[in-house]
Structure 1
Amino acid sequence: MTAPFFFHGLLLLVGLCCPLPITKTSYLYEELYEDPSIDHFQCRKVVLTICNVSITLFKEMAQRSGNGNILFSPIRVIAALSMLSLGAKGNLSKHILEALRLNKTGLPEAEIHKCFRYLLRALHKPEEFSPLKSGSSVFIHQGLTPENKFVEGVKDLYHSDVISINFTDSSRAKTQINNYMMEKSKKEIGDIVKNLESDTFLAVVNYIILNAKIISNYGCRFLKVKDYHLGYGMATKVPTIHTVDLNHLFRVEDLSSTVLVYSLLAGSFTTYFILPDIGKMKKVEQRLTYPHFRRMRRQLSLRMVDLETPELSLSETHDLESVMSLLGITYAFNGVTNSDSSSVMNDTLPKSLKVISKAMLTHEDKWSKPGKSICFKNDGSVDVGHVQFNRPFLIFIQDTKNDAPLFLGRVVNPKN
């Protein structure tokens, strides 16, 4: 499990926007959740801020985790902390938004929360519309009564469940939370909570899972077991997907990297793979900034690519309480009352806080060989690029509808 770190940086995930075929059911789903009071253009400021915060968080993780894997969901991490401001005491609500730099958007606090409702909506689509699974739950000590305003905000703006639980029996409470999250994730997540203090009064737990499948317009796919170079002279055998297809492939010279941009799952998500030259990973991590991604977008140009990517199975859990501490946030909750005295919660009440975010990503191919009749054959008239992702690389995935950053990470070992 990767430790949490302080963040306040710069990143914008921009990229290829591949329109999806619009079915009647998906259209009805979008209409059902459309809120005319939300200004989507203004919400792009919130997206930019989320991305700004993400890059420094990633850099801190990269610096402190050595050469290990990194994976987190910027939208889920920032949403969890922003949601806490709904129940914060006094001026702490504004302080939390300032710490997250959301105050830089120039939007009123209420509008910022509405934007999260809009951005998170795509993460909570029914399974028939999206292979992305995501959920969020707020567990409150049963001796406290949450205020209606807080409960309504958590449910409506952040698509979260609110559940009463007895935290005084920490072992039983941990089991209850883990069982609940396992049920919500359909058994894909187990033991998301590793430890829990008996004086906990509030636990926020969220997750995001993407089981990605590649798109192949030509049906040209092979699955082979090949060497993946971990560094320091070490290598491991991993299933490697070999495709020949149309993709965006180009160089970014000041990052000393080859960049691949392609779409997953019928174009609903755009994936960026950044492959640093040998020995240049640290340089890339230090230099990566928003202008790089803006220039990448201008470089997008489809070409035939002979591509080898490893199957991925990545999973990381982040405890976020330390992030709040590093941001200077000493959390005081004002969203509940003591059920015994109806007084606002005070220092005599339980005050340990638990905030957890889990990200899981798989990228695989279920087919062992391509269809013989449609596999692309180059007669020499087509310029075919070739790239092998057989050593550590960076990955990030965004929602093509609103540019929200879903995943950001570093792949050192594809099978962690």
Structure 2
Amino acid sequence: MPRMTFESRCRSILRGLGEAGPRAEKMQLAVRLLLLLATLLALSRGQPHPEHPESSGTNSSHEKVPGTGDGSTHPSIVASNTGFALRFYQLMAAEFPGKNIFFSPLSISTSLVMLALGAQAQTQRQIFQGLGLNLTEMPEAEIHSSFQHLMNTVNLAKEKMEAHVGNALFLQERMSLLPKFQNDTRAFYQAQLFLTNFQDSVGATQLINEHVKKETRGMISDLVSELSTDTVMVLVNFIYFKALWEKPFPAYRTRPQDFYVDEQTTVTVPMMVQSEHHHWYLHDRHLPCSVLRMDYEGDASAFFILPDFGAMQLVEEALTPELLARWNNLLSKRGYFYKKVELRLPKFSISGSYELDQLLPKLGFTDLFSERANFSGITNMLNLKMSKSFHKATLDVDEVGTKAAAGSAGSFALKSAPMKPLVLSFNRPFLLVVFLDTTQDILFWGRVANPTEP
């Protein structure tokens, strides 16, 4: 049987959605999720590049990297991306106890894999190993083509959902790039190229911030506050995502309610409420938490993970890719878990801003920010090392939305629904995971510890 092309698969998916039948009745009210991110990798000028003795490293596969992917994703990519997302989150949970956390693991991993096109020897091996990518299972060419396919999947136009992943390279105007690195970054990651005078640090900062502001629809305007004059290259990666809930919240029901940050701290939040819908919901038998799945219009869904009182750390430490896969399987195929729920969810905005050069070395990326860094695949004129790396993400949830078709796709509706729906109130710290339905890749991960804090 011939292999379906990426476009054919997309048309097949869209036909399936069109034939799926009417959805549940929705009110003319709204929910909006606007998430965006920009990751900055700044590299500083070093001494003239010496010859590196490690010529037999993984960089040998650079010569085999094709210009385009084959329209598919290696099955190991999703597993490695999920593993990296969990490792990164658990590190930040330990670094920032009791604080809001929000980031895009897909954006971080995409920018690092793109950087691997210019890394060689041990530096490149650390990038792949740190991301959980095994070169014995898939060659470097397939890694890059898989990420290319993943970016194309995110960027595919969808009705009622906007998503865009992009990259940009800001280069010292006197810097000479190796043609292969320049061609591969454009072919695989659609990277835009900007010649930049970093001696004018104010002008360079303004150029980068204006580009990020434009690409993130004005939501991030101050990614870079100051650049050193010895900077020669800045790599920017961003994700913009906007989607509507399939089952929006009626705005007139939003009321101030208590949110219990911890045993000593209670804050007042605007709590959105809906009670007329069925939702995918379970309370885990083995872990003290409840899990709610909410779908967006388009190709994305979200898990809201609500630990029992005082059990946040226990749940965080127990999270594994296998556990997420089990929840996803139960909350998409088992009709028993499709229940009528009175749902109470805070209306909130949070953001996350992190210095990745302080975090990534703790996950095995030790050479990237040291004198041992080998980026000789970028240029043969300079010895580069990564000086700083910034990651910023914001999350905004409110009632803005659109009217959808009446009816129900509810083949899982319970025959004997209870008179009163189960009440599920997110009135204490919870976790949020947003992922693509078609690939199951995690777009965003967050912990809402206090929804009144930005």
Structure 1 residue runs of 4 or more that deviate by more than 6 Å after TM superposition: 217-221
Identify the match of residue 233 of structure 1 among 248, 264, 268. 264
The two structures have a TM-score, normalised by structure 2, of 0.74
Structure 1 pair 414/193, CA: closer, same or farther in 2 (3 Å)?
Answer: same
**Superposed, which structure 2 residues align to 1:150-189 within 5 Å?**
150-189=181-220
Structure 2 residue 430 is the aligned partner of structure 1 residue 382: no
State the distance in 2 between where 1:21 and 1:322 align: 47
2:338 counterpart residue number: 302
Matched, 1:405 2:442: yes
Give the aligned partner of residue 140 of structure 2: 109
Superposed counterparts of 1:5-404, under 5 Å:
20-21=17-18, 37-40=70-73, 43-90=74-121, 92-103=123-134, 106-125=137-156, 130-216=161-247, 222-244=253-275, 245-264=277-296, 266-300=297-331, 301-326=337-362, 327-330=365-368, 331-337=373-379, 344-347=380-383, 351-366=385-400, 382-383=417-418, 384-404=421-441
3-state SS of paired residue (2:117): helix
> What is the RMSD computed on CA atoms of the aligned residues?
3.3
Which 10-residue stretch deviates more, 405-414 or 199-208? 199-208
1:391 aligned counterpart, secondary structure: coil
Q: Distance in 1 between matches of 2:69 and 2:94?
A: 43
1:288-326 C-alpha deviation (Å, 9 max, x unpaired): 122322332343231111101111312223333344544
SS at match of 1:346: coil
Partners in 2 of 1:115 and 1:407 — Cα distance?
A: 19
**Which sections of structure 2, spanning at least 5 residues, go unmatched?**
1-12, 20-67, 332-336, 402-407, 409-414
Which SS does the other structure have where 2:341 is aligned?
A: strand
Give the drift of 1:381: 5.3
Is contact 1:200-1:354 (8 Å) kept?
Answer: no
SS in 2 for 1:88: coil
In 1: Cα distance, 2:69 partner to 2:218 partner = 36
The 8 Å contact of residues 124 and 134 in structure 1, kept in 2 or not, is answered as yes
- Partner AA of 1:389 in structure 2: F
Q: What's the offset of the Cα at 1:194?
A: 2.9
Deviates more, 1:87-96 or 1:43-52: 87-96
Contact 2:294–2:301, Cα closer than 8 Å, also in 1: yes
Retained in 1: the 8 A contact 2:248–2:399?
Answer: no
Residue identity matched to 1:392: P
Is the 8 Å Cα contact of residues 69 and 146 (structure 2) preserved in structure 1?
A: no
Q: Is the 8 A contact 1:310 1:390 kept in 2?
A: yes
Contact 1:139 1:202 in 2 (8 A): yes
Cα gap change, 1:177/1:146 in structure 2, threshold over 3 Å: closer, same or farther?
A: same
CA change 1:220–1:389 in 2 (3 A) is same
Contact between 1:207 and 1:359, CA under 8 Å: does it hold in 2? no
**Cα drift, residue 385 of structure 1:** 2.0
Report the secondary structure of 1:248's partner residue.
strand
Shift of residue 187, structure 1, vs aligned partner: 1.1
Give the total of aligned pairs.
373
Task: Tell me, in whole angstroms, the C-alpha distance in 2 between the residues paired with 1:218 and 1:240.
Answer: 10
Q: CA deviation at 1:176?
A: 1.5
In structure 2, the CA distance between the partners of 1:51 and 1:352, relative to structure 1 (3 Å rule), is: closer
Segments of structure 1 that go 5 or more residues without pairing to the other structure are: 1-16, 23-34, 338-343, 368-373, 375-379
Of 62-71 and 357-366, deviating more is: 357-366
TM-score, normalised relative to structure 1 = 0.80
Quote how far apart the aligned CAs of 1:37 are.
1.9
- 1:143 alignment partner AA: R
CA contact (8 A) 1:137 1:205 kept: yes
